[in-house]
Structure formats: structure tokens, C-alpha cells
Amino acid sequence: MNVLIIIFIGFSFLFLYKRYMPVWGMVKYDLTYTHYSKEDVIILDIRDYQTSCRETKDGTFCIPLPYLNRHFTDLPDKAIILVASSHVEKNLSARILKNKGMRVIGYHLTTDERKECFG
């Protein structure tokens, strides 16, 4: 019985770690100011298609999070800035891309979660 409890706690910790712990080495970017050159960096929009098709900019790659494992090979070999709608999306996609050998250097959140929580 104790072994089952330990296994359950271990899987719960792993689940929470992947979703909610920040990924090291990522900086928050403001996409209205260009602090980067477009030759060295790509912008990857991982939001769902309904949201990203309305608000996307030219030169942005749109691959939603559920399709990222399958279509990460479509991305060029450059540093990546993620565009996400929540911290959970950002963390999950950054971990997937880093496990595939891609360089994720930053992120941009389109909504501020504190505003959503506090009205």
C-alpha cells in the first residue's frame, strides 16, 4: 500500500513540475519592440488556430501546442521566441522543444493571468 502511495505522489509531482515550474533560460519579450534580428530568431505562435490566425504577424510560425511534437521539424534551426496565452502552454511547449534539441530563448504572453484571476 505504501508503494502505491509513493508512486502516486511521484507521478503527481512530475505532472505538476512539467506544467507549472518555469523553464530556465527563458526571458520575457515584448513583441512590440524588436530587441532581436529576424535573421537570428523565429517567433513561434503555439496558441490554438482560432486565436492565432486573427492576431498573427508576418513571418510568425503557427504550430499549436498539440501539434508541436509532430511538426517541430518544420521549424528552421534558429533561436525561438514563443507566443503563448498562458504560463502552462509556455512551459509545456518549451520543454517539448528543448527535449527535441531546439533553442528556446524567450516568450511573450498575450494575456496577463493576474487580470483574469482578479477580474
- 43-89 pLDDT tens trace: 999 998 887 777 666 778 999 999 999 999 999 999 999 999 999 99
Report the pLDDT value the prediction gives residue 119, as an integer from 0 to 100.
Answer: 38
Backbone φ, ψ for residue 13 (5° rounding): -60, -45
CATH architecture of 2-118: 3-Layer(aba) Sandwich (3.40)
3 CB neighbour count, 10 Å cutoff: 7
Domains of the chain: which residue ranges? 2-118
Q: Is the pLDDT of residue 117 over 60?
A: no
